[in-house]
Structures are given as C-alpha cells and as structure tokens.
A and B are shown apart, each in its own frame.
Chain A
Amino acid sequence: MAAKRVIVIGGGVAGMQAAITLKNNGISPMLIERDINLGGKLTRWDRLFPCGTPANEVIGKQIESLSELGIRTVLCGEVSEITPSDGHVEVTLTDGSNYEAEAVIITTGFDLFNATVKEEYGYKIYPNVITSADLEDMFKEGEVRCADGSEPRSVAILHCVGSRDSQIGHGHCSRVCCITGVKQAIELKQAYPDCEVYNFYMDMRMFGSGYEELYKEAQQRYRINFVRGRISECSGTIDSRVRIKAEDTLAGRPLKMTVDMLVLMIGKQAPASNAKFASELGIGLSEDGFLKGVDNFDGATATSCEGIFVAGTATGPKNIGESMAEAVSAAMKAVEYVNRLS
C-alpha cells in the first residue's frame, strides 16, 4: 500500500516540524510555503530569547532534516483553497495548481501588527519611532542607529502595541512581546552600555522557562528602567528625538521624557486567510481570528472538519518551542487519523 499523504500548509517552524514528524512516522508529507524561503518569521529575527540562540540555527537544523528525509517542498506556492471531500482533501494554489492528500495540517502562522494604525505613536511619521521587528533588522545588520546615523543614547520600549487594546479590537495578549522587550533591552545595553533603556509596560508577562530570570537580569545586571504605565502619545522634537507622555502608575504621577528612539513591541494578529479557511471548512475561529481546535485540551490541534489539523501561531500567539510542540501534536493526530482510513 502506498504511504498515506498529508499536506502541510506554511513552512515556518511549526510547518517544518509537522512535516518532519509525519515523515518519521511513515507518512508521505508535502510542505507548501508561500515565500521563496522556509522559516517564516524566524528569517527576520536575529538572536532568540531566552538564550540568545541565533534564529538561523533553529531553522537551519529543520531545513537540513527536511532535505535529509527527502521531504517534498513547494516554495512560492500560496494556498488559496482547501476542499475536503470524503476521505481526502484537495489543496489549490493561487497559480491554479492542485494537490491531493488524505489530510491537511494548517500552519500558516501570524501577521505582525501594522503599527501605523496606532497613529498616536508616530510610526512612519517620526523617523526615530521603530518596531521590534525593525530593531531585529538592525541587530541582524550589526548596528542600531538613529535616523541620522548616530548611536542611540536613550531608548524607550513600549509594550502591548496592537495587543490588549479595545481601541483596535484586539483583545488578546500576544504573549511573546514582553519577553522580546526584555531581550531587546538587554541586547541594546550589551551593544551600547551607556544607553539608558526604559521599558513601559501594562503588566510584565514572563510565563516561559527562563523568562523571569532574564527579567531580573535586565533589572539588576543591566539596570534597565521598568516603568509601569502605558505611553499615551508621543511627538517629534525639532532635533528628531521623541517626546513621550505616560503615567508612572506606581508613583501615581504623570511622567514625561525625551528619548533618541522609541521601539514599539508590535503584537501578533491573525492573518485574514484564517477567516477564509475557517468558513470554507466550517471550523471555529476565536474572537481574535485565530483557528480553533475542537477543545482547549487533547483536541487543541484537531478541528471540527475531518482530516483538517491546525498548529503553531495560526491557532494563537506562541513562542517557538510551543509552536513546534503543537506541530508535533497535530502531526501525530494526523497520523492516527490517516492510519484509521481504509
């Protein structure tokens, strides 16, 4: 009997992990990725929390396994339609090509919040307001510079941009931006020890292993200033610096200051394709647009549509380890499912 086939849609860390797990369990997987490269968001990140592992190392290992295992990969292929019909599923790409399999795992990931929506923070208006993703680009290039080419001497990092915000209808917490804020603050201090760094937060959410330790290191070893308070707005000064206004809520007093650079910790949002796939397949969608499994426990990676499984940040904000673990779970659910088919 020919090996059962499973198509994995999206070649980020979750999709690659799912494909590897399928292959190791006797299934013939096929991985379809829209971009020219595999790796998803990690292709843009420099060093990862909590240990500073280079992002390239993580995806490099996965790409190596994919090729060692001879897993069929389609690049530059964007899936536009998923059509289940009893016992198999058809996947259609925007270029019109078609693939068929017994099951599908959706690992299409997340979108970065578009910071221009929060106009009050001046992204793309003031030259020294950047996002966490832009800062990763600078770390990758090897230096952090203000718009005029100078080294920053003071940087404010604002948490929760595009998350936990009723004003834009995003109720969810993006989960990784607190620890990213801590990580980036430390990296700034490592590169520029004289730079003053301020993190403005609503709550510090240090849920992962090693996160609280990193927070303490940021406080004690790097003397990063943590201010509990949300920046309400900022303005540009004549010398292109950024003037910010917040409340230091622990002091119960308004606070203002001018910094060379403001970094917005942008959140994760559900891609528009989630809603499309969910309605075509009749599977659930969370209030914030992430794909839903049948329950929050053992059924988190199975959906109400037979043969369709979900994993990674397509189902909600997660770190890399969690995305990979969920991918393994979804792959094993798919293995059980296809092996039950006659």
Chain B
Amino acid sequence: MMKKFGFTINAKRAIDLDINDRSIARQVAARVPSWSLCIGCGGCSATCTAGALTDYNFRKLHLLARRGETSALRKQLNNCMLCGKCTLQCPRGVNTRGVIAALMELLPKE
C-alpha cells in the first residue's frame, strides 16, 4: 500500500471565497498575464511526465492557487521537473513555466 503523507490537494472542505486570501494569485496574474487565459482543459497535466508517475496534477494545482487554496501546493510543486512540456501543449498560450517559477517564489515554503 502507498504511504499516505500528511498533505493533499483534495481537501474535503468547501472553497470559501469570502475568506480565502488570493493575494498570491493576483501577483502571479500580474507577472504572467497569460495565466488568466487558462480554460482548465488539462492539456498541461495530460502531457506532464511528473503527473504520469505521481499524483501531481499541474492543472488542478494552479487552479487552486487561483482560488487562494495555497496550503500543500508548494510541496506538490517540488514534483515539477521544469521540463516545459506543458507550455508547448497549452492551447491558450499560457506561459505555464512562468507560472511555475512565480508560484515557486511566491508560495510560502512549508
């Protein structure tokens, strides 16, 4: 059986936009304007090698960042190998590598 670590991006709690702090999302959107064009198609996560081997889901990760659900994301992001395949795939032309770099810098280290 796989060992369960104490973090997950599938929390059961509802996303509450009244209380979530979305300041990181605002900073990422300002640095990487194309991020706002995401339509959640999942092309990035489908092509992602890290996603094929682990439960790392880049589409979901950056959507949660947008909603201000940032806990556990920084650790998840360590799965990324910065290969850039996701950027080559994105139909909306999102600079996903830029998003990853911004998130790595802005998300609090746990």
Contacts and interface: CB of A to CB of B under 8 A. Distances in A.
Interface of A: 198, 204, 216, 219-220, 223, 226, 228, 248, 250-258
Nearest to B64: A251
B64 A223 contact: no
A254 B39 contact: no
A250 B14 contact: no
20 contacts: A204-B39, A216-B37, A216-B92, A220-B33, A220-B34, A220-B36, A223-B29, A248-B63, A250-B40, A250-B59, A250-B63, A251-B60, A251-B64, A251-B69, A253-B11, A255-B17, A256-B15, A256-B16, A256-B18, A257-B16
B10 interface: yes
Given A220-B36, A223-B29, A250-B40, A255 B64 contact: no
B36 A223 contact: yes
Contacts, number: 51
Contacts of B29: 223
A217 to B, nearest CB: 10
A86 B39 CA distance: 56
Q: Is the interface of A mostly helix, strand, loop or mixed?
A: strand
B interface bracket (residues with beta carbon within 8 Å of A): 20 to 34
Contacts of B69: 251, 253
A220 B15 contact: no
Nearest to B42: A250
B67 interface: yes
Nearest to B20: A257
Contact of A258 (B10, B18, B37, B59): B18
